[in-house]
Structure 1
Amino acid sequence: MIRQLIPAIALAGAAVGQAHAADLTISCGAVGAELQLCKEGVAAWEKQTGHSVDVVSTPNSSTERLSLYQQILSAHSSDIDIMQIDVVWPGLLANHLVDLRKLGGEDVVDGNFQAIVDNNTIDGRLVAMPWFTDAGVLYYRKDLLAKYDQDLPETWQAMTDTAETIQQGERQAGNDKMWGYVFQGRAYEGLTCNALEWVASHGGGTIVDDQGEITIDNPHAAAALDQAAQWIGTISPDGVLNYTEEEARGVFQSGNAVFMRNWPYAWSLTQSEDSDVRDKVGVTTLPHGPDGTSAATLGGWNLAVSRYSEHPDLAVELVKFLTSEAEQKRRAIVGSYNPTIKSLYQDPEVLAAVPFFGKLYDTFSHAVARPSAATGDKYGRVSNAFFNAAHQVLAGDTSGEQAVSGLQHELERMKRRRW
């Protein structure tokens, strides 16, 4: 049974729990093939165990999804047993989540990337199981680069120049819908990921450093935002200011963009039979600024069990199944979701399905973390302030210099009230 979660406090009432007789309820994302893969994994567990599970989908926007979860958990609702949570949420939601080591065993995370395990461990409690990891990557039309005799760009400026050249050529050839670059430009968590990559790759730091010091007000960060603003209306459509992952993928996969910033999940979809760019796509590391190195924001999602579940032990069993090596391998091959289990990056079947997993291993294992650890339960407000400032620059409402200066003061006020 599949239901769409409605972002309203009313959902957190008992009525939802009475609406079905399933043993468990799990919420899964619906970006790309996420929901289908989740349904398939759950169905395999149901067949194996005889239990029944309700699968509910959540908003694609991670900002909206977090708000929904916070409503449900604050109401101490038992309606959702298992939640798919972002890599930056363990600290925000920890008080509402069970200790998976306590219920699942000390060896429950053996073989996973230690950095993700550490990220998901709050005050000694493992509050979320690694499910798939992520880092931003650059998709490109390898056929168009060859057609126009262009090299793969290593810097943002080179990407800008190449995008302009190919966009102009394709439009002159009759494709007036062609754009040079699409990305996630809506004012939401996805823009935090994109803008952090721009800033870090220009040598502008990570908004707040590991010691909790606010570092955003610097010329490199300002230059990074100013450069991105120049893309709007030139190599990126004005509509990119409202793009999430799927809007960007839609443009790229229909053959109307040269470059796209997205997560690895988009690979399998660009290679599907109904894709207009099948066998025409390459994937590489993101470009960098003149004073930095390539930076990819650490992404990824985990599975957590609500403290208010009526069946926590059973919920942990489902989590263990869905995050197992076999299930992560299936998801990597079918949906190009990055495993959190290290051994799968040497698996021949995985590498045959997603060749860039091997080539970009360092990108995935050394991605730049958002400052959720340093800012604790204030991270949501920090990110909100950052993506709003970045969006104002993209929209032409302010300059990069003004934005980072104003953001510095705003974050300092937050910090004075304690992270």
Structure 2
Amino acid sequence: MRNVLKRLAAATIVAVPTFATAETVAISCGTVGQEFEQCKLGAEAWAKKSGHQVKLVSGPTDASEQLTMFQQQLSAGASDIDVYRVDVVWPGLLGAHFIDLKPYVSKDVLEQHFPAIVENNTVGGKLVAMPWFTDAGLLYYRKDLLEKHGQKPPTTWQELATVAKTVQDAERKAGNDKMQGFVFQAKAAETLTCNALEWIDSFRGGTIIGEDGKVTINNPKAVEALKTAASWIGTISPQGVLNYEEEGARGVFQSGNAVFMRNWPYAWALANAPDSPVKGKVAVIALPKGGAEGKSTGTLGGWQLAVSKYSKHPEIAADLVKYLTSPEEQKRRAIVASFNPTIASLYKDAEVLKVNPFYTSLLETFTNAVARPSKVTGAKYSRVSAEFRNAVHAVLSKTAKPEDKLKDLQKKLENLGRGGKW
């Protein structure tokens, strides 16, 4: 356990006046984009209001590494972290280690959040996590470059490849040899699971494992989707994309060296920051369809806050969670950092829309978002995701053919299930 804790980044204490009855609770915060800073600001506001102290703990950006860390810590019954930042696919995996938050949150408050996320966070009748912010994959593009070269925003992946190549080549010819057509997240991590599921679902190739427990990954549409994605590597996407997580892709795009980028909504605020080279030059639309018969889809993401049942101060920790997931705090985060609220009314809030005009289309995006098969696979989801993304990475790396990898993946996932079916 000591080795696990050593891997966590140095903790930061939020300074507040010390009271005789003040306690300290620790919260795990994300480190992608402005996550850590916004987590700190929210915790600081609660600390000043409550008179308690908050210790912020950060870890790796790779969600899979975070999960492993949390599983080891919780399995050991460690009380070092009171409030955990939980991925949307983790409640079923970690829920047994969290307290029921229903006694701390009124029904009226809970009903303000997207019902699907509340249901996702309810395990065995217990609300093991509160919705904090939600996500779905989006397509960012340089509207100035498309206009400059007479191109229109793409509606299909095939159109994206054509437009990306046209603009990329023209910009390179004009002197920017660093220009890339399309950057995304293709590192063999959970982020690739999200990207690849979007491609396959957009081609109507299913969701890896259906809600009925049937493994569906080996089908012609899924093969076509992966062939399409593999064709991008070395043509409109650099080889380095095979190691990109969210921040790697954003770094290239925000520096002005990419035409298109797939990323989460958080990248909007950063792309339009005062010091951003692409400020005012970026637009956001739904991800492309998988051809004329395909559909536009984005993988549902997002993070929740849960209280460890090993916490020494569960009531105080629950109060922190209640504050950080409140409408007021979610609105602040949406305005200053483009973190998507889990409260539907905020998508019609004038102040929020002024800063995030693309929010008007997000309700539809979230409605049509595709969920990873975490509920049907339960505790084995991590294994399923790892098998899936490793197969996809091999295809993108061009060390294997998609039809071969998906056939093999189908058998592996069926074997992992119960008698060939989950």
**TM-score grouping bracket, smaller chain normalisation:** over 0.9
SS at match of 1:139: strand
SS at match of 2:110: coil
Q: Distance in 1 between matches of 2:314 and 2:158?
A: 51
- What do residues 110-146 of structure 1 show as CA deviations (whole Å, max 9, x unaligned)? 2000000000001110000000010000000000000
The answer to whether the Cα contact below 8 Å between 1:179 and 1:236 also exists between their aligned partners in 2 is yes
Q: Does residue 8 of the first structure (1) align with residue 3 of the second (2)?
A: yes
SS at match of 2:417: helix
Structure 1 residues 7 and 87: alpha-carbon distance in aligned structure 2, compared to 1, 3 A threshold: farther
The answer to whether the Cα contact below 8 Å between 2:33 and 2:266 also exists between their aligned partners in 1 is yes
| 1:402 match | 404
SS at match of 1:174: coil
Aligned-partner residue type, residue 112 of structure 1? H
**Partner residue of 2:322 out of 320, 323, 327:** 320
| 2:18 match | none
Structure 1 residues 359 and 148: alpha-carbon distance in aligned structure 2, compared to 1, 3 A threshold: same
Per-residue deviation, 1:10: 5.2
- What do residues 269-325 of structure 1 show as CA deviations (whole Å, max 9, x unaligned)? 000011110000000000011231011000000000001000001100000000000
Aligned-partner residue type, residue 128 of structure 1? A
Per-residue deviation, 1:11: 5.0
Structure 1: runs of 5 or more not aligned: 1-5
The answer to whether the Cα contact below 8 Å between 1:101 and 1:108 also exists between their aligned partners in 2 is no
Per-residue deviation, 1:104: 3.6
| 2:263 match | 262
Q: Distance in 1 between matches of 2:384 and 2:367?
A: 25
The answer to whether the Cα contact below 8 Å between 2:185 and 2:192 also exists between their aligned partners in 1 is yes
Per-residue deviation, 1:58: 1.6
| 2:182 match | 181
**Partner residue of 1:348 out of 347, 350, 354:** 350
| 1:212 match | 213
Q: Distance in 1 between matches of 2:257 and 2:5?
A: 41
| 1:42 match | 43
The answer to whether the Cα contact below 8 Å between 2:78 and 2:310 also exists between their aligned partners in 1 is yes
- Aligned pairs for 1:10-409 (under 5 A) are 23-290=24-291, 291-409=293-411
Q: Distance in 2 between matches of 1:92 and 1:224?
A: 29
Aligned-partner residue type, residue 86 of structure 2? I
Per-residue deviation, 1:400: 1.1
Per-residue deviation, 1:345: 0.6
Q: Distance in 2 between matches of 1:22 and 1:225?
A: 52
TM-score, structure 2 as length reference: 0.94
Aligned-partner residue type, residue 260 of structure 1? M
| 2:19 match | none
SS at match of 1:360: helix
The answer to whether the Cα contact below 8 Å between 1:385 and 1:407 also exists between their aligned partners in 2 is yes
Q: Distance in 2 between matches of 1:125 and 1:108?
A: 16
Q: Distance in 1 between matches of 2:210 and 2:123?
A: 19
- What do residues 196-215 of structure 1 show as CA deviations (whole Å, max 9, x unaligned)? 00000001000001111100
Per-residue deviation, 1:24: 0.1
Per-residue deviation, 1:109: 1.4
Q: Distance in 1 between matches of 2:46 and 2:379?
A: 34
SS at match of 2:78: coil
Structure 1 residues 399 and 38: alpha-carbon distance in aligned structure 2, compared to 1, 3 A threshold: same
Q: Distance in 2 between matches of 1:182 and 1:272?
A: 20
Structure 1 residues 177 and 270: alpha-carbon distance in aligned structure 2, compared to 1, 3 A threshold: same
Per-residue deviation, 1:365: 2.8
The answer to whether the Cα contact below 8 Å between 2:101 and 2:128 also exists between their aligned partners in 1 is yes
Structure 1 residues 370 and 231: alpha-carbon distance in aligned structure 2, compared to 1, 3 A threshold: same
The answer to whether the Cα contact below 8 Å between 1:22 and 1:54 also exists between their aligned partners in 2 is no
Q: Distance in 1 between matches of 2:6 and 2:401?
A: 41
The answer to whether the Cα contact below 8 Å between 1:78 and 1:309 also exists between their aligned partners in 2 is yes
Structure 1 residues 7 and 358: alpha-carbon distance in aligned structure 2, compared to 1, 3 A threshold: farther
TM-score, structure 1 as length reference: 0.95
Structure 2: runs of 5 or more not aligned: 16-21
Per-residue deviation, 1:360: 3.0
Q: Distance in 1 between matches of 2:198 and 2:352?
A: 27
Per-residue deviation, 1:340: 0.4
Q: Determine what percentage of the aligned residue pairs are the same residue.
A: 57
The answer to whether the Cα contact below 8 Å between 1:170 and 1:178 also exists between their aligned partners in 2 is yes
Aligned-partner residue type, residue 222 of structure 2? A
SS at match of 1:361: helix
- What do residues 172-229 of structure 1 show as CA deviations (whole Å, max 9, x unaligned)? 0000000000000000000000000000000100000111110000010011011101
- What do residues 74-129 of structure 1 show as CA deviations (whole Å, max 9, x unaligned)? 11000000010100000000110110003444444120000000000011100000
The answer to whether the Cα contact below 8 Å between 2:7 and 2:59 also exists between their aligned partners in 1 is no
Q: Distance in 2 between matches of 1:185 and 1:215?
A: 22
- What do residues 334-387 of structure 1 show as CA deviations (whole Å, max 9, x unaligned)? 000110001101100000010000123200232110000111111111101110
- Alpha-carbon RMSD: 1.8
| 1:3 match | none
Aligned-partner residue type, residue 359 of structure 2? F
Q: Distance in 2 between matches of 1:403 and 1:228?
A: 14
SS at match of 2:205: coil
The answer to whether the Cα contact below 8 Å between 1:85 and 1:302 also exists between their aligned partners in 2 is yes
